[in-house]
Structures are given as C-alpha cells and as structure tokens.
C-alpha cells in the first residue's frame, strides 16, 4: 500500500518526508540510540500486521461505543438535574438533561450490566490489540513531523485512557480503592479523555482499517491453518516484522485465543446479573457470593452497621415524616401497614454492574404524596436515618414518584425487611439506580416546585 | 487554496482534517485537565493515567513476551528452523513440541487474564470497604483462582493427550494400497 494512497486517509505519513523543522527530524533520525536496531528487527511474530490489528480494532469499534454510551446513560440515571450525580459539575461533558424513565423496569439493570459486563469482556481484546501494535512504540525516529508528534500524544491519551478506565472500573466493582482519588471524578473525566482520543483515532485510522480488512478475505483467513499461515506483506506502519519467525499459531488461532478469553470472562461475570443457581458462576466477584438464606437472602450495598444505623432508631419509636405544601404528616409503621399495600416484582441494580430481582410489598409513593396533600408533585426528596455517606438522601423525579410500582417498601418476599435491607422502610422504584432506592427512610418531602 | 494545503502538508506533515481532529481531542483533554486540576488528588490521577501505560508497555508486555520465549526454549520449539520443510503442507507432521507449547500457553494466558481482572478479589484487597458494602467478611479467592488455573491446565492436558493419541493411531494405520 503506497504511503500516498488516498485510501489511507489523512493520517500522518509514517514513511514519507520530514515536516518542519526538517533539520530536527533528520538529526533525530540519524542519531539512533543504542539498542534501537535490536528492538526494531527483534519483532518475531508472523501474525502481526494490519489485518490482525484491524480485526481486533473492529471488535473494539463495535463494543466500545456501547460501553461509552451506557456509561453516559448511567450518569443520566442519577438525575443530574437535581445535582445528585457524581461528579457534580461536568459542564457540557454530559448527555442533555432528560427525565430517566421508569420503564422498562430493567432499564438500569440492562445499561449498567452492559457497561460493566462489556467493560470486563473487552479486556482481552484491548490486550490483544495493544500486543499487535506494540512495535510502533519503539519506532525510530519517534516522529518525522509535528503531525506525528501530535498523533503520538493522542495515542498516549488513547492507551492511557482505556487502561485507566479498565483499572479504575475493575478496582471499583471489587471494592479495592487503592488509587486514593475519587472514583466517580476519575472514571467520568477519564472516559471523556479516552472518548476524545478514540474519536480522533477512528477518524484517522478508519480508512486504513477498511483497506486492511479488505486485503485478506475473512472467510479464507479463518480457514487457514497454522502451517499455511504466512506473514502479511510489509506495511507502511511497520507492524509486519522484518524477520518473522515461522508461525506457532494461525491468525484464526490468535482470534480464537482473544475470543476465548472474552468468553471465559463473560462466563465468570454474567452471574452477578442473574438470580438462582447461575449466580454462583460469578465465582471470583463479590456479587457471586452466597448472600444468605431466606426472604432477605439477597445482596446488599451498604450494611446497617456501616451506615451507623442503631436498632433504637428503627424500633417502635421510628416515625416517617411526610412534608408537602407546608404541611407535615407523621406515620408509624402500623399506620403504614394499615394503608393499601401493593406488591411489585422489581430488579434492584447497582452501578457496580450487579443486580437482583425481588418481590417488594409496601405503600405506593403516589398514595403517600396524596396523603401529604401533594397528589401531583414535581419531585420528592427522600432522607435516610443515615448520618453520613454520599447517598443518605436522594431526589426522585415526578415520574418516579407516580409510577404505580414505585413503593415505600416494608416487606420483601413476604417477610419484613431486614435491618441491612433498610428496615423499617425503604424506597424501591423501577429502573432507579440502587443507591437512590434509599434505605432506612426517615422523611419524604413532596415538592411542587423544582 | 491548493497551495496553502500543500504548504500545510509540507510543514505540518499531514492534511487539515488530521490537524482539526487532533486539536478537538486536545481541547477536550485540556478542558478536563483544567477541571480536574483543582482536585487535591489530581496528581495521583495523572500518575495512574501515565502509570497504566508504563506498566502495560514497559512491564506487562516485556514480562509476558520474555516468559513466552523462555517457555519456547524450555519446550524446545526453535525460533528459526535451519531449513524450511520441503514437504507439501498436508504431509507435514505438526511437531508435537509445538502442540505442547500451545497447550501450555493457552491455560497460562487464561490464568494470567483471570488474575489480572479479578486481582482485588484474588488477593483479598479492600477488606473494610467489602465488609461495609456486603456485611460479610472478605475471604481472598486465591484458592479459587488456583483451582480455576488447575482446571484450565487439566483440560488443556487432556485435550493434548487425546490429540496425541489420535495422531499416533493415524500414523500407525497402514497407508492406502498404492
């Protein structure tokens, strides 16, 4: 493929003339540091080349937008219009404001399950892609023009971005906050740095990917065994090694290896989103572990002990305070149980990707709104007995208050809520992020103005 | 116009779209950097961002590449054979050593991948946050990871053995009458 081929797009020409200042690039080119020769001729894999890189690239081009979009949707699910999504102030780096829907009830379960699940499953593809292009890192001269310097800088953002997102995400879902900074801030802004670099990379490299994929028909390549596998012809990017070894696996094998790794991770991850015996398949994840027996035997997100809830706060002295239109109403637990009870089977899904579906019983939020004298609220502000923590309060949108399945739940699976599940009462709303389904509810403020 | 474009190409080294798209990328990054710079932990974030690249490119990659070369030498798969095999491909016997190499590589890569991805659980990191979130004690999954690793190697070994037996059976069968 000639370097001037229009099909290569406008990528900085890796082999052509120097840009300005020419003397600098020429001098750099001539002064090769010791060892560069050994490294550049030392690459041995006959599989490295534009075709294999493009196959891995295509897999990421299909999956990464899904991970990015579901990530942004998860931010939107926290109703950032109420200032309760983290990070707090993101300027214009977010989706336009919209009311997060309550239907389908599994919406957040799906978006967040996809975000975390796909994020894990693409790890082998990312590693395979990086393996396929690693010779580029040791190119000499590192650049021949300002264009190449800028492009390499954007690649640092691209590679740093994806590795940073994977590392912080994996540590977060496994409760290892070893990084010492705020996860939300880092993961959200890291995503934007990565996305910007990804867009630039795709714009510059898409034509090259298409050319490379067309250069070897996929069907024929997937039928080629190891013995017949030959190196690709030399490419302008220098991915194909100068002195390749004989192959030890076919390209088909290399693709199967990465795909197999993804399948292995999928098998060990999907369990955290399903109930029943399959859950135990998430054998190496926190949410695949046995949550105990009985009606309250399902995963929690914050223990009563960690939330500082004392038994005295939740005993017979507990009162629910409803506010609305300048009025205050207080209810005790028998009072709530005397109201019309509604039962709904709803998933509760965590931003960490795990979810579980249970049968909840309690008073409809819209009944409580009517009782408080605000039958048509624009929002409801729920506060917990918790004394600290980011999620001791949450504001619900109008649609989330008025949905017929939105409950102040008192019971689950036919039994009273346990203390760890939010006894004496907790919020459960279809498609609402788990941490906004406030536990140990102390008060609800139904608002008529935003 | 055409002359200006040619001059851009000669000095900058690429076309206007290249410049535009990269500038856009840096504008977003710059904006994020300004926003995050106010955080007390901004330095740590930068360290992790750059550190992730350095760890992958200059530690993880060299280590697994080196391990693979050592493994190849140990199994006895020469990097460059003295002379190419002149026999047609269908008559060429897949060297047993090469199959052995791949049957070690595959479970080793699988185990390595699981170790990387589930690292905090395997080593039992974050016991306090785990307890606060789940109301249970964190038990390190090291034993489980070792068990999965063992299963991967076992499956690979069984498949290798079956292939080897089948190949031997095929070789011992008398050829078609000629």
A284:B144 CB<8 A? yes
A379: closest CA among A436, A424, A307? A436
Of B36, B55, B92, the CB nearest to A227: B92
The 8-class DSSP code of residue A247 comes to P
| The pLDDT value given to residue B91 | 43
- H/E element holding B158? helix B142-172
B10:A19 CB<8 A? yes
| The pLDDT value given to residue A6 | 39
* pLDDT tops 60 at residue A12: no
Show which of A245, A267, A289 is a domain's final residue.
Answer: A267
CA distance A300 to chain B (A): 6
B15: closest CA among B29, B28, B2? B2
What residue of B is the nearest CA neighbor of A419? B135
Whether A234 is covered by a domain: the verdict is yes
CA distance A216 to chain B (A): 21
| The pLDDT value given to residue A390 | 85
Cα–Cα dist B51/A179, whole Å: 12
Instruction: Report angle CA A7, A11, A12 to the nearest 5 degrees.
Output: 130
- Tell which of B34, B76, B91, B134 to mutate to test the A interface (max A CBs under 10 Å): B134
A257 and A109 in a common domain: yes
A249:B61 CB<8 A? no
B131:A91 CB<8 A? no
Q: pLDDT per residue over A147-170, tens digit each?
A: 999 999 999 999 999 999 999 999
* pLDDT tops 60 at residue A337: yes
CB neighbours of A437 closer than 8 A, spacing ≥ 6? Answer: A348, A426, A427, A428, A429
A235 and A171 in a common domain: yes
* pLDDT tops 80 at residue A400: yes
Determine if residue B11 is left, alpha or beta; phi over 0 gives left, psi from -120 to 50 gives alpha, anything else beta: alpha
CA distances from A64 to A166, A185, A428, B49 (A): 12, 20, 31, 19
Average pLDDT score over residue span A276-291: 93
A399: closest CA among A383, A375, A378, A368? A378
**Strand ranges for A110-187 from DSSP E:** none
- From the CB of residue A394, how many other CB atoms can be counted at a distance below 10 Å? 23
B109:A420 CB<8 A? no
Of A161, A189, A300, the CB nearest to B135: A300
B21:A257 CB<8 A? no
CA distances from A71 to A349, A356, A432 (A): 14, 20, 15
Mark B59-82 as b/e (b = at least 16 C-beta within 10 Å).
ebbeeebeebeeebeebebeeeee
CA distance B157 to chain A (A): 17
- From the CB of residue A294, how many other CB atoms can be counted at a distance below 10 Å? 10
Contacts of A288 in chain B (CB under 8 A): none
A331 and A211 in a common domain: no
Whether A298 is covered by a domain: the verdict is no
Query: What backbone torsions phi and psi does residue A429 show, to the nearest 5 degrees?
Result: -130, 135
A19:B57 CB<8 A? no
In terms of residue numbers, what domain contains A344? 304-447
Average pLDDT score over residue span A169-181: 97
| The pLDDT value given to residue B87 | 54
Q: pLDDT per residue over B143-156, tens digit each?
A: 999 999 999 999 99
A182:B136 CB<8 A? no
A329 and A197 in a common domain: no
Whether A276 is covered by a domain: the verdict is no
Of B77, B136, B138, the CB nearest to A248: B77
What residue of B is the nearest CA neighbor of A137? B57
Show which of A244, A267, A290 is a domain's final residue.
Answer: A267
Q: pLDDT per residue over B11-30, tens digit each?
A: 999 999 999 999 999 999 99
A412: closest CA among A397, A424, A394? A424
Of A160, A178, A192, the CB nearest to B50: A160
Contacts of B117 in chain A (CB under 8 A): 120, 123, 170, 265
Of B11, B45, B148, the CB nearest to A186: B45
Whether A294 is covered by a domain: the verdict is no
The proportion of chain A whose per-residue pLDDT surpasses 90, expressed as a percent, equals 88
* pLDDT tops 70 at residue A7: no
| Alpha-helix runs per DSSP H in A174-297 | 183-215, 218-223, 251-267
In sequence order, what are the beta bridge partners of A346? A358
B41:A182 CB<8 A? yes
With H, G, I as helix, E, B as strand and everything else as coil, classify residue A167: helix
Whether A38 is covered by a domain: the verdict is yes
- Which pLDDT band holds residue A13 (cuts at 50, 70, 90)? low
The proportion of chain B whose per-residue pLDDT surpasses 90, expressed as a percent, equals 79
Contacts of B39 in chain A (CB under 8 A): 181-182, 185
Whether A279 is covered by a domain: the verdict is no
Query: What backbone torsions phi and psi does residue A280 show, to the nearest 5 degrees?
Result: -65, -10
- From the CB of residue A37, how many other CB atoms can be counted at a distance below 10 Å? 11
| The pLDDT value given to residue A112 | 97
- Which pLDDT band holds residue A445 (cuts at 50, 70, 90)? very high
Q: pLDDT per residue over B56-94, tens digit each?
A: 999 999 999 999 999 999 998 877 655 555 555 444 455
What residue of A is the nearest CA neighbor of B87? A227
Determine if residue A227 is left, alpha or beta; phi over 0 gives left, psi from -120 to 50 gives alpha, anything else beta: alpha
| Alpha-helix runs per DSSP H in A216-356 | 218-223, 251-267, 304-307, 311-314, 333-338
* pLDDT tops 70 at residue A450: no
A263 and A360 in a common domain: no
Residues A116/A353, Cβ–Cβ less than 8 Å: yes
Of B53, B102, B132, the CB nearest to A159: B53
A213 and A94 in a common domain: yes
- From the CB of residue B171, how many other CB atoms can be counted at a distance below 10 Å? 8
In CATH, what number is assigned to the domain containing residue A321?
3.90.420.10
B29:A248 CB<8 A? no
Whether A162 is covered by a domain: the verdict is yes
Burial label for B177, CB within 10 Å (0-12, 13-18, 19+), is exposed
CB neighbours of A175 closer than 8 A, spacing ≥ 6? Answer: A286, B120, B125, B126, B129, B130, B133, B138
Whether A286 is covered by a domain: the verdict is no
Contacts of B45 in chain A (CB under 8 A): 181, 185-186, 190
What residue of B is the nearest CA neighbor of A249? B102
Cα–Cα dist A183/A208, whole Å: 36
Contacts of B29 in chain A (CB under 8 A): 157, 193, 196-197
A424 and A341 in a common domain: yes
Domain total in chain A? 2
Q: pLDDT per residue over A25-48, tens digit each?
A: 999 999 999 888 888 888 999 999
Average pLDDT score over residue span A319-329: 95
- Which pLDDT band holds residue B1 (cuts at 50, 70, 90)? confident
A214 and A69 in a common domain: yes
Contacts of A195 in chain B (CB under 8 A): 28
* pLDDT tops 60 at residue A186: yes
More confident residue, B132 or B174: B132
A256 and A137 in a common domain: yes
Cα–Cα dist B60/B52, whole Å: 10
Contacts of B116 in chain A (CB under 8 A): 123
Cα–Cα dist B38/A216, whole Å: 50
Task: Find the length of chain B.
Answer: 178
Whole-number mean pLDDT of chain A? 94
Within 13 A of A373's CA, how many CA atoms are on the CB side?
9
A432 and A322 in a common domain: yes
- Tell which of A127, A253, A270, A422 to mutate to test the B interface (max B CBs under 10 Å): A127
What residue of A is the nearest CA neighbor of B10? A19
A233 and A333 in a common domain: no
The region of weakest confidence among A37-51, A74-88, B22-36, B88-102 is B88-102
B32:A193 CB<8 A? yes
A204 and A71 in a common domain: yes
CA distances from A35 to A139, A140, B58 (A): 12, 11, 15
């Amino acid at each position: 493929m000639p370097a001037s081929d229009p099909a290569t797009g406008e990528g900085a020409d890796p082999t052509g003339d120097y840009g300005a200042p020419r003397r600098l690039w020429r001098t750099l080119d001539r002064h090769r540091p010791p060892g560069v020769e050994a490294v550049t001729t030392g690459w041995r894999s006959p599989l490295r080349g534009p075709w294999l890189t493009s196959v891995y690239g295509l897999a990421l081009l299909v999956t990464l937008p899904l991970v990015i979009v579901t990530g942004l949707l998860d931010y939107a699910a926290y109703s950032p219009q109420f200032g309760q999504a983290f990070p707090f102030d993101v300027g214009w780096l977010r989706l336009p404001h919209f009311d997060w829907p309550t239907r389908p009830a599994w919406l957040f379960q799906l978006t967040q399950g996809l975000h975390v699940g796909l994020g894990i499953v693409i790890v082998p593809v990312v590693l395979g892609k990086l393996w396929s292009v690693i010779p580029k890192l040791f190119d000499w001269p590192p650049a021949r023009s300002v264009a190449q310097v800028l492009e390499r800088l954007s690649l640092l953002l691209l590679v740093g971005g994806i590795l940073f997102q994977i590392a912080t995400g994996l540590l977060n879902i496994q409760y290892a906050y070893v990084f010492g900074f705020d996860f939300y801030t880092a993961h959200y802004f890291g995503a934007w740095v990565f996305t910007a670099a990804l867009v630039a990379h795709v714009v510059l490299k898409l034509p090259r990917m298409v050319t490379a994929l067309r250069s070897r028909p996929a069907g024929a390549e997937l039928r080629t065994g190891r013995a017949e596998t030959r190196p690709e012809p030399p490419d302008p990017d220098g991915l194909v090694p100068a002195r390749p070894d004989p192959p030890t696996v076919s390209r088909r094998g290399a693709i199967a290896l990465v795909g197999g790794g993804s399948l292995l991770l999928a098998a060990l991850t999907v369990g955290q989103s399903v109930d029943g015996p399959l859950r135990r398949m998430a054998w190496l994840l926190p949410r695949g572990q046995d949550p105990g027996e009985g009606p309250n035997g399902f995963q929690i997100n914050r223990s009563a002990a960690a939330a500082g809830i004392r038994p005295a706060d939740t005993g017979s002295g507990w009162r629910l305070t409803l506010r609305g239109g300048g009025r205050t109403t207080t209810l005790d637990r028998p009072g709530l149980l005397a109201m019309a009870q509604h039962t709904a089977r709803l998933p509760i899904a965590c931003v960490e990707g795990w979810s579980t579906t249970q049968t909840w019983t309690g008073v409809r939020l819209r009944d409580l709104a009517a009782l408080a004298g605000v039958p048509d609220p624009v929002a409801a502000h729920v506060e917990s007995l918790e004394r600290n923590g980011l999620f001791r309060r949450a504001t619900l949108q109008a649609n989330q208050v008025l949905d017929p399945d939105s409950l102040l739940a008192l019971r689950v699976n036919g039994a009273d809520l346990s203390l760890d599940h939010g006894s004496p009462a907790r919020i459960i709303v279809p498609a609402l992020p788990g941490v906004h389904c406030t536990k140990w509810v102390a008060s609800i403020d139904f608002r008529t103005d935003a | 116009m055409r002359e200006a474009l040619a001059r851009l190409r000669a000095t900058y080294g690429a076309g206007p779209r290249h410049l535009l798209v990269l500038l856009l990328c840096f504008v977003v990054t710059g904006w994020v950097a300004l926003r995050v710079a106010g955080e007390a932990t901004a330095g740590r974030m930068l360290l992790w961002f750059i550190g992730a690249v350095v760890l992958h490119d200059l530690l993880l990659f060299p280590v697994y590449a080196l391990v693979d070369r050592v493994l190849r030498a140990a199994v006895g798969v020469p990097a460059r054979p003295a002379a190419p095999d002149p026999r047609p491909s269908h008559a060429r016997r897949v060297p047993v050593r090469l199959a052995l190499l791949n049957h070690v590589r595959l479970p080793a890569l699988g185990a390595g991948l699981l170790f990387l991805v589930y690292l905090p659980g395997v080593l039992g990191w974050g016991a306090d946050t785990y307890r606060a979130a789940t109301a249970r004690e964190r038990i390190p999954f090291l034993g489980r990871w070792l068990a999965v690793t063992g299963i991967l190697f076992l499956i690979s070994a069984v498949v290798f053995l079956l292939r080897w037996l089948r190949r031997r059976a095929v070789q011992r069968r008398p050829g078609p009458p000629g």
